[in-house]
Amino acid sequence: MASLVDELVSVLREEEKLYLALEECADEKTQILVRADVPALERLTVIEQTRSDELLALSNKQIQILNDIKNVLGRSEEKLTVTSLIGYLASQPQVQERLTTARDNLIQAAKRVQNKNQQNIILLHHAIEMTEFDLTLFKSMRQAPETANYDKNAYNTGTLLGGSGFDAKQ
């Protein structure tokens, strides 16, 4: 069982390293969004996807190790988590401490990545709003204003001025 716990601690540390790499990507993404550098954003997205795939593989490995530990402990009917395993290791304080530290570091790294991703989501929403504003502005610049022409009942006729630039003859 000690080797399984050591392997679990190793997997948790590898997950933490990947989260730290994702945190660096999130920092870089913030700068890319501010610069509005779409090609750089595309390249970074590929890197993030690769790291996320690696993280998913490690997560699956963590689940498998926890299932193996659950079988060794003879607790097949309940779900075993890292936190509950820490509780089971009360008689082994050194192992419990290593596992607790690895879990806490992983949770902190994941929270930092989550916070940075939330900030990037806000930046993206602002960028989309600005793009929509620009599009609306450009559309309105191409439309001609209505004339102040009225019919015999004093209703606006709604005719538009010509939008073709100059009306001068040569």
169: left (phi over 0), alpha (psi -120 to 50) or beta: beta
Distance CA 67, CA 63 (A): 6
CATH for 2-117? 1.20.58
Q: What 8-state DSSP symbol labels residue 150?
A: B
**Percent composition of the chain: helix, strand, coil (DSSP 3-state, to 5):** 75, 0, 25
Phi, psi of 156 (to 5 degrees): -70, 135
Residue identified by tokens 């509005």 is 36
How confident is the prediction along the chain (170 residues), in pLDDT tens digits per residue?
Answer: 778 889 999 999 999 999 999 999 999 999 998 888 889 999 999 999 999 999 999 999 999 999 998 888 887 777 888 988 888 888 888 989 999 999 999 999 999 999 999 999 999 998 889 888 888 888 777 665 556 666 777 676 665 555 555 555 55
Stated pTM of the model: 0.75
